Amino acid sequence: MSPADALRDIPPFDRMSDAERGRTAREAAWLSLRKGKALYWQGDRTEAVFLLASGSVRSVMYRSDESTIEMGRSGRGEWLGLAETLLGCPRLNDAIAEEACELLSFTRAGFERFLGAPGMRSFFLRELSRRYCALHSQIELRTPIDRLARFLLARCAGAGEVACTQEEIAEAVGVTRETVNRHLARLQDKGVLKVGRGSIRIVDAEGLKGIPGFRVGLISMI
């Protein structure tokens, strides 16, 4: 598939003539991405914007507390790195191929020329507005210790013990093993649980339920 053919049924290019699509395609480079390969990393310099022609890409943002936020998945016809390209800022998240992908890559200069075509600016304004609304429903606002407490309570299922390694817990709640270890130690100091080898015993379930509600003291130290 050529870049011009890839654009044929993707908005807003589907409204263009063949000649206009051809001119737009000449501004782009064709890029193939293997499954599991990163398109870019959070904090990278932004030099291009990408249009996904096939496959899917997973976006993940890392927070300062070492936890992660799933930013969603992009499929055919979706743009990657749009906001960063328009603002000229570093990448806001990691972008990882969930399966083999093909993309069109536009340099910032090429994309700016493309934006000059009739109707393009209004199209991308709507696209950014749609993403803004979608992100509000996706962002996890709970603190790491809140997520940890909820996970432990859900997994103990009344038995009072959670048979999980700290690595497994870290993966489940979206933080590093070091973060899990630090918060488990604090919860143990408060007397609500007891950390063993490969397991965690819930000593005070009601006390653990109350932990996420504290916004002074323990939570403020996250």
Per-residue model confidence (pLDDT) at position 159: 57
Query: What stretches of the chain adopt beta strand conformation (E)?
Result: 28-33, 38-40, 48-54, 57-62, 68-74, 79-80, 94-97, 101-107, 161-162, 193-195, 200-202
Q: Are residues 65 and 160 part of one domain?
A: no
Per-residue model confidence (pLDDT) at position 69: 78
Q: Are residues 83 and 114 part of one domain?
A: yes
Q: Are residues 52 and 20 part of one domain?
A: yes
Q: Is 27 helix (H, G, I), strand (E, B) or coil?
A: coil
Per-residue model confidence (pLDDT) at position 82: 93
**Which residues span the domain enclosing 49?**
3-136
pLDDT digits (tens, 9 = 90+) for 99-113: 999 999 999 998 988
Q: Are residues 116 and 87 part of one domain?
A: yes
Q: Are residues 155 and 121 part of one domain?
A: no
| Domain end marker among 70, 104, 136 | 136
Q: Are residues 113 and 25 part of one domain?
A: yes
With b meaning 16 or more CB within 10 Å and e meaning fewer, what string describes 47-85?
ebbbbbbbbbbbbebbeeebbbbebbebeebbbbbbbbb
| Domain end marker among 136, 171, 201 | 136
Predicted model pTM: 0.64
**pLDDT of 168 over the 80 cut:** yes
Residue with tokens 């819930």: 202
pLDDT digits (tens, 9 = 90+) for 110-163: 898 888 888 888 999 998 998 887 776 656 667 788 888 888 888 775 557 888
Specify the CATH number for the domain of residue 47.
Answer: 2.60.120.10
Per-residue model confidence (pLDDT) at position 56: 95
**pLDDT of 77 over the 70 cut:** yes
Q: Are residues 27 and 122 part of one domain?
A: yes
Per-residue model confidence (pLDDT) at position 158: 56
Q: Are residues 154 and 57 part of one domain?
A: no
Distance (Å, whole) CA 80 – CA 46: 11
| Domain end marker among 111, 136, 161 | 136
pLDDT digits (tens, 9 = 90+) for 201-214: 888 888 887 765 44
Question: Half-sphere exposure of 216 toward its Cβ, with a 13 Å CA cutoff?
Answer: 0
Q: Are residues 154 and 127 part of one domain?
A: no
